[in-house]
Structure 1
């Protein structure tokens, strides 16, 4: 499932980093915190690897 905005993509990237142990889970805030808990590593990777071209900063 592709990200709908660049903000969603960035949150998924932060959550993926924490899930892999590259950053501390305690550093996560907001959407990335809930994404890390509720999504698998594969789902996060799919969201984070979406191309940014043409994506709005925030989805409406």
Structure 2
């Protein structure tokens, strides 16, 4: 049976920091033996069209 993940306030803060400000992308939490060992953040930038020098697309909020 899988071990329960050990999650404390420090990890919650780290996860929140990884997600904050992320418009497009992923946050992966790596777990080994029931313990969080790594947080990976991959940020993506989306642009309208393929013309160089164009400003990033803006979405209505």
If each structure's helix is expressed as a fraction of its own residues, which one has the higher value?
1
TM-score w.r.t. structure 1 length? 0.29
With CA pairs under 8 Å and 6+ residues apart, which has the higher RCO, 1 or 2? 1
- Structure possessing the higher radius of gyration over alpha carbons: 2
If each structure's strand is expressed as a fraction of its own residues, which one has the higher value?
2
